[in-house]
Amino acid sequence: MIIKLSKMEIEELTKDNFDQITESDRDEMAIPSYSHSNPLIRWLMWKRLELAFLLAKNGKDKTVLDFGCGIGVFLPTLDFHFTNVYAVDLFPYYAKKLCEKKGLKVDFKDSVNEFEDGSIDIIFSTDVLEHVDDLTELLNLLGKKMKSNGKLIISGPTENIVYRIGRLLAGFAGKGDYHHRNIDDIINTSIENGFEVQEVRYLPFKIPPYLFKVISFVKNK
């Protein structure tokens, strides 16, 4: 289904700390979560990507963008299943290193502005939009670059009390202040800006309390 990296692979990939990447940046890239000693936390992180991929309903010839690709853990899966794969991130160093190591045909762009209008079939943005300052501006830009009826597939934390307790138990106390909003805020803002909810998946279970939601939006004409 999806191609996973082992805990050891992620630790090796991210062992070098570039000067411009702060500890907070590493947290936002979910490096501590993907390399966590608790297998349940690692399972949850990979499950988000699995659900996001399932919501895409694969079409080999589609053009897809991993917006906020982080260290690139989703890129091996996208490269295997899609013909044209692009990635954008503020700090693409680890992702580029991973692609070089695995021989992935991923085209990195510095900004979404580099894409032609109406050129992207699917945009994935997993646990990214909660970090964005001006979400409305970004959603309008993403929508502009998507094809008519293109898909935007996102995931994000609920930030509810159970999620906050889980963060504490995972050893992430005092972190998360870089989250400007929760996933429900993102859903509402997306709807307000011309996106229609197509499908929603929940984690870790189909019944509440939910820790994460994974949503597929379709761009309205």
pLDDT tens digits, residue range 130-178? Answer: 989 899 999 999 999 999 889 999 999 998 888 888 778 778 755 555 5
In this predicted structure, which of 50-54, 77-81, 140-144, 169-173 has the lowest mean pLDDT?
169-173
Q: What share of the chain has pLDDT > 90, as a percent?
A: 77
pLDDT at 111: 96
In this predicted structure, which of 7-11, 37-41, 59-63, 86-90 has the lowest mean pLDDT?
59-63
d(CA 57, CA 135): 26
Query: What value does the mean pLDDT take over residues 87-111?
Result: 97
158: tokens are: 């609920």
172-209 residue pLDDT tens: 755 555 567 999 999 999 999 999 999 999 999 999 99
16: tokens are: 């070098």
Neighbours of 192 (CB within 10 A): 11
221: pLDDT strictly greater than 70: no
pLDDT at 28: 86
pLDDT at 137: 97
Are the C-beta atoms of residues 42 and 9 closer than 8 Å to each other?
Answer: no
Neighbours of 206 (CB within 10 A): 8
pLDDT at 142: 97
User: Side chain identity at 44, as an amino acid letter?
Assistant: L
Q: Classify residue 113 as exposed, middle or buried by CB count within 10 Å of its CB (0-12, 13-18, 19+).
A: exposed
Residues 6 or more apart from 185 whose CB is under 8 A from it?
A: none
